[in-house]
């Protein structure tokens, strides 16, 4: 794996390898890494783990186990190398579609999913490894909500980041799959002051109130 380069996630204590040709962690990944909360002895699942960046963030907590599921085998290999090299807690990297994943329910699920539906994507777009991280080729938003519910304990927490234009879909699919949004936060682009991303904390099988955190400028 000679094409790997070291990068820092949030600071120099959080280092991991990334492949130059694959989807890299981005600003949204960093925002979610700071937004999500993990408690002692919890089991954490990252859906679409890619290089394991969000698992690295979860590894900063005293967790019981980290699990990353990834459909793209080359990305799995990078995530496994990162886990073997930099992580401090037991970690499983699983090469699988989340639709086929069979594990005991976890306490926390995190996900930085593809943002763009296939119908909104030019059919001539080349589906490179990077594009597969952006387009709902392997996992739709509706499927994500369904399988997050399937793989999460009752009252478990689901953290995700998405684009603001999908907000109606996000709330529709979460409610359909027995989630209530507890906390959300909107990130604005400092260049044009437009809302760009939304961070979501949703609780399974809960009737919690919804709280909006102070907006971020990025």
The per-residue pLDDT for range 182-191, each reduced to its tens digit, is 999 999 999 9
Beta-bridge partners for 18: 5
With vertex at residue 14, the alpha carbon angle to CA 134 and CA 22, rounded to the nearest 5 degrees, is 30
Calculate the dihedral angle through the C-alpha atoms of 108, 15, 130, 45, rounding to the nearest 10 degrees.
-10
Please report, for residues 18, 46, 76, 84, the alpha-carbon distance to residue 22 in angstroms, rounded to integers and kept in the order given: 8, 18, 11, 19
Whether 200 has a pLDDT exceeding 70, the answer reads yes
182/165 Cα distance (integer angstroms): 20
In this structure, what token pair is assigned to residue 69? 């599921």
Whether 125 has a pLDDT exceeding 70, the answer reads no
Q: What is the model's pLDDT at position 20?
A: 84
Long-range Cβ contacts of 129-136 (<8 Å, 24+ apart)? 129/21, 129/22, 129/23, 129/72, 129/74, 129/75, 130/21, 130/22, 130/23, 132/23, 132/72, 133/22, 133/23, 133/48, 133/50, 134/23
Class of domain 4-217: alpha beta
**For 16-65, how does the pLDDT look when each residue is reduced to its tens digit (9 = 90+)?**
999 988 878 999 999 999 999 999 999 999 999 999 999 999 999 999 99
In this structure, what token pair is assigned to residue 89? 């807690």
Q: pTM for the complete prediction?
A: 0.93
CB 49 within 8 A of CB 55: yes
Instruction: Return the domain boundaries, the chain.
Output: 4-217
Residue 154 burial by Cβ neighbours in a 10 Å radius (0-12, 13-18, 19+): exposed
In this structure, what token pair is assigned to residue 23? 């989807």
């Amino acid at each position: 794996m000679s094409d790997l380069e070291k990068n820092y996630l949030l600071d120099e204590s959080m280092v991991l390898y990334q492949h130059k040709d694959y989807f890299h962690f981005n600003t949204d990944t960093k925002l979610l890494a700071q937004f999500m909360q993990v408690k002692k002895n919890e089991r954490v699942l990252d859906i679409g783990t890619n290089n394991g960046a969000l698992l690295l963030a979860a590894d900063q907590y005293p967790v019981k186990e980290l699990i990353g599921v990834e459909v793209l085998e080359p990305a799995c290999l990078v995530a496994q190398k990162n886990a073997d090299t930099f992580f401090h807690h037991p970690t499983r990297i699983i090469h699988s579609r989340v639709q086929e994943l069979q594990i005991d329910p976890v306490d926390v699920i995190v996900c930085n999913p593809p943002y763009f539906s296939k119908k909104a994507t030019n059919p001539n777009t080349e589906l490179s490894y990077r594009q597969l991280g952006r387009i709902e080729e392997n996992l739709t938003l509706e499927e994500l909500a369904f399988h997050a519910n399937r793989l999460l304990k009752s009252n478990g927490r689901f953290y995700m980041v998405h684009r603001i234009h999908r907000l109606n879909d996000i709330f529709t699919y979460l409610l359909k799959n027995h989630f209530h949004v507890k906390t959300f936060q909107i990130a604005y682009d400092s260049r044009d002051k437009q809302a760009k991303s939304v961070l979501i904390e949703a609780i399974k099988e809960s009737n919690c109130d919804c709280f909006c955190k102070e907006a971020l400028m990025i």
